[in-house]
Each structure stands twice: as structure tokens, then as C-alpha cells.
Amino acid sequence: MADGSDTTLTAEQTPGQAPQGLVAGLKSFAAGHGGAKAVIEYVGKRGARIVLVGEDGVWGDQFADDTVVARQACAKAGVTVENAWERELMDQMRPSNDLWRSMARRTMAR
């Protein structure tokens, strides 16, 4: 840029609106499990994964276009977003027997 230029190059990201289907899915999960907390994970080009942990220990996930949309969706759904996987949150998770079996099959197949 030339001296005295008042323009700068920035990569501005215009966050999209949280899709109603995503918000409805988060609300539904929270209502069905006595409330929920979420951890948002960036997964590259695919977007962001919202991992939900219900108060009863059941967990599930949803995908959003990016982390900004994921946070907006959680806020609209009334789901608390945790900044990281804290020990208490991980201790609360109760994987089903089916999940344990599917994880064992994946490990054995490698």
C-alpha cells in the first residue's frame, strides 16, 4: 500500500443467521434430557460440531456452518456453551452400550 493510505486489507466474516432447524434441534434435545450444555468444536471446512450433553448424561451432536452460527444457535436455544471439555462435563456423559460396541468395532477394524 502507498504511504498515507487509509485502507487496510481485512478478512471480514459476515456471520450467517442460525438456521431454525438447528435451533429447534438444540431446543428439542435440551427439553428431552432435562437441560443441556454444549461444547463447540471447529472441524475445518465442514464447519462446527455442537456436542450436547444432557443433564441425564445422554449426549448427541449437531453441525453448524461455522462457530459463530453454532454460538448463535445455542444462545437462541437457551443452551449453555462451555469453553472446553471440563472434567465435570465429561464425568456427566453416559455413553450407551451401543456406542461402546460401535467404538470397539472401529478399533478392531484398524
Number of alpha carbons in the 13 Å side-chain half-sphere of residue 92: 19
Q: What is the per-residue pLDDT across 87-100, written as a single tens digit (0 to 9) for each? A: 777 767 776 666 55
pTM of the model: 0.69
pLDDT score, position 28: 94
pLDDT score, position 99: 58
DSSP string, 82-105: ESS--HHHHHH----HHHHHHHHH
pLDDT score, position 6: 44
The ranges of the chain with pLDDT < 50 are 1-14
